[in-house]
Amino acid sequence: MVSRVSIQTADFDLAAEVAALRAGDPGVGAVASFVGTVRDRNDGSAVSDMELEHYPGMTERAIESMIDEAMRRFAIRAARVVHRVGPLRVGEQIVLVAVTSAHRGQAFQACEFLMDYLKTQAPFWKKETTPGGARWVDARVADDAALARWGISAGNA
């Protein structure tokens, strides 16, 4: 059994992660995945790299409980979340959410649900380097609104 949540400094391999998630389950008919990457611009400034901080222990627990909630809400067979921490350069992968199900609809929905949940409820903080110096990234009201679509009040931004 693949562990459901990994918080790591190392990069991840999407194909290998999906293969491991599907392995040994012939009932899987759909895999949906999302990969978030470091963008070269944010809030009107060029970004060269960032540092991701987290709350060890709480991060893993929070995401585990999000996966439990996704399993209750959607007919999915397995889910996997990998989130990197530490220094990251533009273009690098930050986060992976992958979900398997019998049919595509539930996999798409559960993948989006997990990402919306993670954005506002998992304790990570990004500090980005811009030409004007390093700055903490502001939370977005739009991310709270995305979670509200699922009937959950975020209260983050």
Partner 1 sequence: MKVRVRYFASLREALGASETVELPAGSTLGTLRDTLAARGGRHAEVLARGRAVRSALDQVMSDESVPLHDGAEAAFFPPVTGG
Distance CA(154)–CA(95), nearest Å, equals 20
In the complex with partner 1, which residue's Cβ is closer, 29 or 136? 136
Q: Residue 137 in contact with residue 125, Cβ under 8 Å? A: yes
Point out which residues bind partner 1 (CB under 8 A): 36, 52-55, 57-58, 61-62, 83, 94-95, 115, 118-127, 136-139, 143, 155-157
In the complex with partner 1, which residue's Cβ is closer, 17 or 77? 17
Distance CA(31)–CA(23), nearest Å, equals 12
Distance CA(123)–CA(27), nearest Å, equals 34
In the complex with partner 1, which residue's Cβ is closer, 24 or 44? 44
Shortest Cβ 52–partner 1 spacing (Å)? 7
Shortest Cβ 133–partner 1 spacing (Å)? 13
Shortest Cβ 65–partner 1 spacing (Å)? 9
Is beta strand 76-84 parallel, antiparallel or unpaired with respect to 5-8? parallel
